[in-house]
Amino acid sequence: MSRIGRLPIPLESSVKISVMASAVSVVGPKGSLSHVLPRGITAEVDDSQLLVRRSDDSKRQKALHGLVRSLLANAVHGVTKGFEKRLEIHGVGYSAEVKGRNVAFKLGFSHPISFAIPEGVAVKIERNVITVSGHDRQQVGQVSAEIRSLRRPDVYKQKGIRYSGELLRKKAGKAAGK
């Protein structure tokens, strides 16, 4: 069996799971998520844990077994505790502020950039730290990547938006003429 796929997913009492023939729905205090199960993969609730099983030992089924188990574990974690990513803004005059369901960025361009916050995601800004949080791990990561792409970190001047803890190696730049 798959090492990841065979692990049971522990369920808290606040999580409600409904398993249909080809989908699993997870509902918790932070929201609800559902995942479609691929052909040959089944899920079942046993006591206070969720088990994922596969129909045969083909290479594709083994790969999907671990994938589906990880996706369901992320769904259970997301609806109970949620996910968050932190980004940092570096640069003189660079700033951001939340205005309703939009974030207004000043990133050294001639105009401010307005970024719409999608449903299911919350954005909080304190000084130069942006915190993106939500119950769907994929959506939190996608929104964080889109915010980072507004002004990628520059390896020469060390300015831009980067993930918290992301290390940049500073390049020397052009050498002076001889």
Tens of pLDDT, residues 26-82: 999 999 999 999 999 999 999 899 999 999 999 999 999 999 999 999 999 999 999
Fold type of domain 83-163: Outer Surface Protein A; domain 3 (3.90.930)
What residues does each domain of the chain span? 9-80, 83-163
pTM: 0.88
Q: What is the dihedral of CA 9, 12, 14, 15, to 10 degrees?
A: 10
Give the C-alpha separation, 59 to 53, whole Å: 14
The H-assigned helical ranges of 50-117 are 59-80
